[in-house]
Structure 1
């Protein structure tokens, strides 16, 4: 019996699954997946707001996230194109190294630019970070799903979310503190190093055990099959259209609220230190608590019921932003609001990500998960980038956040309908089955 195994056996039974090799790998992958989001999300929003950029321009920068929503268009390349030289390391590992290097270069470029001098070039760099980060996400998600065994999807999704939050919060906090003490360029250059954990994980673990090799693309017909095959396979499943509609709708309200919260905090007069302490610090620990609760819910209630509870909590949490907006500058209320929202998001992060992962067919992991994860936020990001700033200016923050709560309800109701119609388990892919399809999940 190995020393490592003995050490794991001494842990409480509820903690042992979290220290297995595959979930720990998911943690490292999540760290690298989360930090590009922070670089073009809350961190860039704060930087632009402090440089005096108007609200409509600031919220328009959320359109850089739309690159993530179109990543399914080039995901077949990640599945089937063998990279020169690096390809000898394996399909997934070689793409991890390539995409990670692209992310580091794009983040460094964004950091070297001055928004007040050339906003258009900053926008180009933000899109470049989005494109590189989206490509990195394609590989990371495929590597995670193919590395985890079916029974580890819940735990692995939780660990991935832990990593994602660690990466985004650590990078966001580092950027704020370094920018306060020094400058934004140095902050972005230092944060580029957060791309390394996933690259190192790939080199240490090698190709994932459940990776299904895809034949090399030769000719237009085979390229078309590579692109259309994953979608056609998914759409043949019963209830597939409703599942896709749910994926499109369920995060609109949550995305609208989260991508505009830094504007609210800036207008309420919160300082960088208060934002770092409450939005970043309190939010970080609340999210960790939410992930733990989500893992417990997934294990005890099963996937279907835990997803429903998470959707309701995420919708209700937007009301706390309306409360904060009405109350004004209040540190204790900010702590409550950020805590509630992050606990709800942590729960949803575990159970919804596990659900999306379970929808994948292992022959098309990269492409199908890229399609599902992109669809999950495209509507919310599009609405945020095109109308959120104008809605805030015309409605005010209180009415805006009440509206985001109402917008979240259609996704909840659609999921409830699918649950009652028995469509949830019937639409799962082979990545979600630890036993033959048809067995009950709860």
Structure 2
């Protein structure tokens, strides 16, 4: 937490710092490929007459984003020939992954799905792999580029850029396909990856000199402990240094409390993710039109999310991470009660706007603050691997529970479902309060008060 609380004006000025501004463009680069291998791609495939069964199998492409922790150690540890010396550890991997996405999108746009569906699938997996790799390295760069106090602002700008990219890759790509054709649409999207490439070439590489010696000493000690001090194969040594050490360091640094932290990471977004899959069916079943959902839920909701993200960043700069973390958890859980009320009110556009604004602002605040919190848990010697672990863990429980959401709605109705989802958020609020209390007690002990 900052030693001196900043004024609101001083807090706002952090968004003008070059590296904070750069996160908008890197967030855009990270968000652009996502829909191009998901909903936009499925529209393209269906437009070419691909069967629904075949399109359904393309959902498996998304598994790539859930298992990025498996190759994050390679990004953390492996130097790229020539590029690492020229650009540095993070920017070299960033550039390679961005160029990989762009080439993959160009390749997809050059194919006819009716004649080359297998090749489209292979390239979609390639784009997803490169995109997930870009996520890993951008997350690592964001954490290493600035001090902890600025992580909220970095996260807010990242979310802003990411959301803008989703609009471009969703509505923008469909609009281009309608006016021209799908090859042109994917070609334009590939060219827009140049935003990330240019940003990567312009930003400065973070300083790794402070943690390099510390990491080398830690890794050497564990290589000797696990493999012995004698001769051992280079592959075994690489596995200990690149794969085992990031996890060992996290548990060694936090002790048994690491399990509490992992539990908190897994449940913080439980309420948010569990209700998400039922949102659009809820609006339709309640009687709202598709245009109502598009205008209020998507466009109006987009701006509310951006507002929430920037508020989250400001709160972290001004008050530190822990208190906004509690606020975000409480707001996300509480807004589900508004959905329950909307289920009783019916298709009232005013109430829909109230609910959407509350849900998206609270989601924006909680996401920005939570990203800053996860960033604070990493050791900069193993940023990519540890953050990839956290980001994978934070969605798994929610995705699992959300699979039963339809069962609950069919059995007890939407109103009861949203009450249950609100209750799912209660443990995260309680645990956030406990973490704040523990952090405050540790700060007082350190200061001798």
For normalisation by structure 2, the TM-score amounts to 0.77
- 1:277 deviates by 2.9
| Cα offsets for 1:166-189 (capped at 9, x unmatched) | 222343331354456566665454
Kindly tell me: are residues 273 and 364 of structure 1, through their superposed partners in 2, closer, same or farther at Cα, counting changes over 3 Å? same
SS at 1:15 equivalent = helix
SS in 2 for 1:209: coil
TM-score by length of 1: 0.78
Q: How many pairs were matched up?
A: 417
**Cα pair 1:41 1:62 within 8 Å, conserved:** yes
CA pair 19-38 structure 1, distance change in 2 beyond 3 A: same
Find the counterpart in structure 2 of residue 369 from structure 1. Answer: 387
Greater Cα shift, 367-376 or 46-55 = 46-55
Q: 1:3-402 counterparts in 2 under 5 A?
A: 13-39=10-36, 64-89=61-86, 90-107=88-105, 128-178=126-176, 186-210=184-208, 212=211, 218-236=234-252, 237-238=254-255, 239-265=257-283, 274-324=292-342, 329-384=347-402, 386-388=403-405, 397-402=414-419
Cα distance in 1 for partners of 2:409, 2:51 equals: 16
- Displacement, 1:284? 2.0
The CA RMSD over aligned residues, in Å, is 4.0
Mapped contact 2:149–2:317 kept (Cα < 8 A)? no
The Cα shift of 1:345 comes to 1.2
| Cα distance per residue 1:107-164 (max 9 Å; x no partner) | 5667788999999998776655443322111010111111113332232222222222
Unaligned segments of structure 1, at least 5 residues: 1-10, 427-436
Answer yes or no: is the 8 Å Cα contact 2:286–2:346 preserved in 1: yes
SS of 2:84's equivalent? helix
Structure-2 separation of matches of 1:350 and 1:419: 17
Q: Could you tell me whether the CA contact under 8 Å between 1:66 and 1:381 is conserved in 2?
A: no
Alignment deviations for residues 188-229 of structure 1 (CA, whole Å, 9 cap, x no partner): 543344433332222112422347557799422222331111
Query: Could you tell me whether the CA contact under 8 Å between 1:357 and 1:369 is conserved in 2?
Result: yes
Equivalent-residue separation in structure 2 for 1:175 and 1:65 (angstroms)? 19
- Would the aligned equivalents of 1:31 and 1:166 in 2 still touch at CA under 8 Å? yes
Between 1:343-352 and 1:398-407, the stretch displaced more is 398-407
SS in structure 2 of the partner of residue 133 of structure 1 = helix
Q: Is the 8 A contact 2:11 2:317 kept in 1?
A: no
User: Quick one: structure 1 residues 186 and 302, their matched pair in 2 at CA, closer, same or farther if it must change by over 3 Å?
Assistant: same
Q: Could you tell me how far 1:85 is from its partner in structure 2?
A: 4.7
More displaced stretch, 72-81 vs 46-55: 46-55
Name the structure 2 match of 1:5: none
